[in-house]
Structure 1
Amino acid sequence: MSGIIAIDAGTTGVTCLYLDAELNVRVRAYAEFAQHFPSPGRVEHHAEELLAAVDRTLAEVVSDPLAKDAVAIGITNQRETVFACERSSGRALAPGIVWQDKRTAPECARWRAEGRGDLVRERTGLVIDPYFSGTKIHWMLREHEGLRARAERGEVVFATVDTLIVEHLTGARRWRTDATNASRTLLFDIDARGFDPDLCAWLGVDPGWLPEVLPPRSDFGRTDPARCGVALPILGTIGDQQSALLGQGAVAFGATKLTFGTGCFLLVQCGEQRPVAVQGFLTTLASDAVGDVSYALEGALFMGGALVQWLRDGLGIIADASETEALAASVPDSGGVVLAPGFTGLGAPYWDAGARGALLGLTRGTTRAHVVRAALEAIAMQNAELIELARTEGGLEVDELVVDGGAAANDLLMQMQADFCGARILRPAEVEATARGAAVLAGLGAGLWGRADQVPRPALEVFEPRLDDTERARRLDHWRESLARTLSRS
């Protein structure tokens, strides 16, 4: 029976799956790679470490006899992270700057003050923020000695993670990206579907230094068996959040998904027509039912599962993320503790790169259980604030949300999310919708299905809201008041 290999290159690790034609996961491999924090506010990846994780997981999957019937590969990835690569060899010339990195915050503040935000919003659907790739490229060209001169000689290409992986696996030296990843660069006109000369000139980037842009479902080349042990076509690449939207089958207008990954991401499918902008939300490109380009609204939060990682790696109060549910459930509430999540600034709806994290409301009675519960509440409250904004500002009726991502396996967190949102939470039995979306794209390209809404769907578990509207509003107001104390512009 034919199947698909999906590569999901996330922020902290790479997952590789083999899925059969019913989209059942038959083989799974995972490898973490290092995060580098050279100074406060800076987050980097080394390309060779990321690609080694791709190689290791792909080799493990293709060596399994169950994966012998694979007919194509789909790739999904963390989106705004960017590398400067040598065009002729594929070698990264410097560490990649990760989407969480804030080194360009001062320049972004200056550009906003100069009034550039309206043009950026009109052309790209985004806001001026260190989050996006274009400001990182601008920094690289200024700070890495000789890089601009090499770029001007045609020797450099700036690659997001999808482009880096495709080039690595194919060795074809044909640098390609897809429209969903391109739409996160701050350089791409989402209506004209091309890199915008005005925005490129603003950030000092020649469009020729950027990859060719294809629709998500496209032929991105064939893997080199000498590099990865298999010769298969790569028939789709897509940014991770758009991939999760597709993987959840959210291809009808208004369909909504919420991903719990390193960050949290709320996406609403908007189809062929660009939606009216909603304050605090981004307008971005996604995939429709056949793998072509569509529009979506997005609320992007920087600290989701990363809060749990901080509890483990930063504070050392848990040994494993799986401990959080039982520990948080051991207390009836957070004891008044609020964990403000601005560790890398705040995304939607504040877009405040200068915000900072804080633990508020501590008493002598505070225990690690209260702190852990406060972390889970912070994840759920951030999402609840976005959903309330979508209702009040966007006029959207959000009665239910399909969820995915590693933290979605936490039952207590899902119940909190239902309570704080006042919406039903629908959790598939398989929560890895990001990789599933990449598999759907590649399967469409391989002819396994005609449309994404014909793809088999997993069973759903439902979490019903229990808080009444009055208590929910009180909790949300208290969250906003607490968060306001950590904003740089408050």
Structure 2
Amino acid sequence: MERLENLKQQLTEAATTMVPQQEAFIGSIDQGTTSSRFLIFNKAGEPVASHQIEFKQIYPQPGWHEHDPLEIVDSVEKCIDKAVAQFEEQGHSGKSIKAVGITNQRETTVVWDHTTGEPLHNAIVWTDTRAQGLVRKLKQRLGAGDLQSICGVPLSTYPSVSKLLWLMENVPAVKECYDKGNLAFGTIDTWLVYKLNGGRKRNIFVSDPSNASRTMFMDLKTLSYSDALLDFFRLDTSKLKLPQIVQSGDPKAYGNLASTVLQGIQITGCLGDQSAALVGQKGFHPGLAKNTYGTGCFLLMNIGEKPVVSTHGLLTTVAYDFHNMKPSYALEGSIAVAGSSIKFLQNNLEFIESSAKVSQLAETVEDSAGVTFVTAFSGLFAPYWIDDARGTLFGLTAYTTKGHIARATLEATCFQTKAILDAMGKDSGYDLKELAVDGGMCNSDLTMQTQCDLIGIPVIRPSMRETTALGAAIAAGLTVGFWKSLDEFKDVNSQGTSTFKPTVSAEERNTRFARWEKAVQMCRGWAS
């Protein structure tokens, strides 16, 4: 009898080992400036399914940029359903998706009525400059010079606070809601989590530190709201509802999806898009940096567990604050116009049929022939912070062709990246050895070689470019034990990388950059 029982047990164990273990996956919502996406990643950090939907860009006046908050939510939910359908067509089960992470455009501001859950105005996008006059007035207030030492961000039209104050001053419905004590404020992460959880019914109202650090309301050292900052902006927190700041990875705080085919799946991670890209590029240690060439351009360097307030025109931000880990900080340089300058050539000037052909046009000439294009369509961001600059072309001659202007357009982003890297070296004390890159513009070999030549260090481009979405997946996956530690990512996305090495002398590099700096100074004051 005993032998028979042993035989049965052996047969059961053998059968169990023959049944393949169901593979597990992590979902990632990537809500960007021009489109929303949903990607599904396996444990090797590879996307196995995805869907993308572009949404309407609203430009009511020059310098104004808005999104429909409800359209953003709708696009995300549709992306989830479409990507999961594709995923299941491959033979996988939606139930194998263990959690969902979110990454999002950051400073973009949404306000809604807490009692109804309905937005009171279009979202004001991070690129919007309508609050320029308001910011000038704020800079005259006593204590304005001390703000950056608390929150890491200088006063400008960029952070969320200027957009919120403009709405309160200029939109009667917003002011009325504030006076009644019902005004809810959030960046896109907060709005998405709120709506994806079902809105007012469950009222999941949170933000993570990488997003909250972009509002000018959060103290970088404590990762909590600062009374000094809120007092400076004269905001009454008994009338304004601010989201609770929780960790970038949290097993409960972000709730779960109330609808879509993934209804009930937990949301366990959230990161602002540029922090997510740093995580996706495995920038887990001080001195590692990445540059994302998207609609704008964002360079982040990990500076470790203590914030360093920049004295060279950069921002200090939260890189990530993961579950059961100490928070990490980053220095950041933001360029307002990068990929959008290529769209400008395509849509406004009709130089090219599609963005992908800009490199081909630029390669029709050997260099820019002295043409310099300061693409300050919304002013210049880091490290210059010139709000009244506007896009300016210098060096045009009868010899200038479309190819020269195309090349100068690509170079503009590369020059600004060099200026930011120079500032980072001074602020951080780290000598950067290489620069990891991602984003649409990095697909251009010409742009990456130009970048490499201007900064004088290797540029590393991974084969899998979905690093922002991967960062959100990592935040969610670490929280639920899908990945156990940061050490597991050592070999993730390390195969098939492209390395660009400098090909010009330091003298040529410095001469070209000096011409750029001259153009920057000449573009001041165009917007009164």
Give the TM-score normalised by the residue count of structure 2: 0.89
Q: Which position in structure 1 is the counterpart of 2:85?
A: 63
| Mapped partners of 1:121, 1:173: distance in 2 | 31
**1:89-488 aligned within 5 A:** 89-171=116-198, 172-207=202-237, 208-218=240-250, 219-227=252-260, 229-287=262-320, 293-392=327-426, 394-455=428-489, 456-458=491-493, 459=495, 460-488=497-525
Tell me which of 27, 35, 39 is aligned to 1:13: 35
| Mapped partners of 2:180, 2:258: distance in 1 | 31
Tell me which of 51, 60, 63 is aligned to 1:41: 63
- How big is the shift at 1:197? 1.8
- How big is the shift at 1:262? 1.0
| Mapped partners of 1:333, 1:269: distance in 2 | 34
Deviations 1:448-476 (A, max 9, x none): 11223322421221000111101000011
Contact 2:320–2:327 (Cα < 8 Å) also in 1: yes
| Mapped partners of 1:140, 1:225: distance in 2 | 30
- Secondary structure of the 1:226 match is coil
Deviations 1:325-364 (A, max 9, x none): 1111121011221111110011001111111001221122
| Mapped partners of 1:289, 1:213: distance in 2 | 13
- 2:103 partner letter: T
- Secondary structure of the 1:245 match is helix
Q: Which position in structure 2 is the counterpart of 1:73?
A: 100
Contact 1:5–1:74 (Cα < 8 Å) also in 2: yes
Contact 1:78–1:161 (Cα < 8 Å) also in 2: yes
Gap regions ≥5 residues in structure 2: 1-22
Q: Which moved more, 1:286-295 or 1:330-339?
A: 286-295
The Cα RMSD (Å) is: 1.8
Contact 1:9–1:15 (Cα < 8 Å) also in 2: yes
Deviations 1:268-302 (A, max 9, x none): 11121122524111111111675652211111111
- 2:167 partner letter: M
Over 3 Å counting, the alpha-carbon distance change for 1:146 and 1:92 in structure 2 is: closer
> Is 1:24 aligned with 2:46?
yes
| Mapped partners of 2:427, 2:384: distance in 1 | 14
| Mapped partners of 1:279, 1:381: distance in 2 | 16
- How big is the shift at 1:250? 0.5
| Mapped partners of 1:89, 1:63: distance in 2 | 32
- Secondary structure of the 1:63 match is helix
- How big is the shift at 1:393? 5.2
- 1:6 partner letter: S
Over 3 Å counting, the alpha-carbon distance change for 1:343 and 1:450 in structure 2 is: same
Q: Which has the larger radius of gyration?
A: 2
Contact 1:254–1:270 (Cα < 8 Å) also in 2: yes
| Mapped partners of 2:458, 2:321: distance in 1 | 24
- 1:38 partner letter: P
Deviations 1:197-247 (A, max 9, x none): 222233232345111110101134443453555321000111011111111
Deviations 1:54-86 (A, max 9, x none): 122111112231462211100001100001112
Q: Which position in structure 1 is the counterpart of 2:75?
A: 53
Aligned length: 490
- How big is the shift at 1:394? 4.2
| Mapped partners of 1:122, 1:158: distance in 2 | 24
Contact 2:312–2:426 (Cα < 8 Å) also in 1: no
Identity %: 33
> Is 1:86 aligned with 2:113?
yes
| Mapped partners of 1:110, 1:31: distance in 2 | 39
Contact 1:281–1:298 (Cα < 8 Å) also in 2: yes
- Secondary structure of the 1:348 match is coil
Contact 1:217–1:237 (Cα < 8 Å) also in 2: yes
Q: Which moved more, 1:468-477 or 1:286-295?
A: 286-295
Deviations 1:130-170 (A, max 9, x none): 10001111111111114233234332211110111111111
| Mapped partners of 1:243, 1:452: distance in 2 | 14
Gap regions ≥5 residues in structure 1: none
